[in-house]
C-alpha cells in the first residue's frame, strides 16, 4: 500500500492519539505505535545539531591545527 505523508502540529497529533486511545486496543495498537515511532524520530532528529554545520574546535583532537 502507498504511504501518505501528513503534516500535523504536535497538538493535532496528540488529538488523533487521544481519539485512537478511546478505540479497542486490538484495532489501534499498531497504528498508535507507528505514529509514536515516527513522531519520536522527528523530535530526536530536530534536537541533534546537523553535522555539516558543526566545525571542529581549533586545537581539538584530530583537527589539523593541533
Residue 62 has pLDDT above 70, yes or no: no
Note the pLDDT tens digit of each residue in 12-58.
999 999 999 999 999 999 999 999 999 999 999 888 776 656 556 66
Residue 63 has pLDDT above 60, yes or no: no
When pLDDT is cut at 50, 70 and 90, the band that residue 1 belongs to is confident
Q: Are 20 and 14 in contact (CB under 8 A)?
A: no
Q: What is the dihedral of CA 48, 53, 58, 59, to 10 degrees?
A: 40
Q: How far apart are CA 43 and CA 66, in angstroms?
A: 35
Domain assignments of the chain as residue spans, ordered by start: 10-42
Per-residue confidence (pLDDT) for residue 51, from 0 to 100: 62
How many Cα atoms within 13 Å fall on the side-chain side of residue 56? 9
Amino acid at each position: 500500500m502507498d504511504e501518505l505523508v501528513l503534516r500535523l502540529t504536535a497538538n493535532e497529533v496528540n488529538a488523533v492519539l487521544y481519539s485512537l486511545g478511546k478505540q479497542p486496543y486490538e484495532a489501534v495498537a499498531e497504528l498508535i505505535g507507528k505514529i509514536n515511532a515516527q513522531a519520536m524520530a522527528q523530535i530526536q532528529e530536530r534536537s541533534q545539531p546537523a553535522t555539516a554545520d558543526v566545525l571542529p574546535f581549533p586545537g581539538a583532537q584530530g583537527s589539523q591545527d593541533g
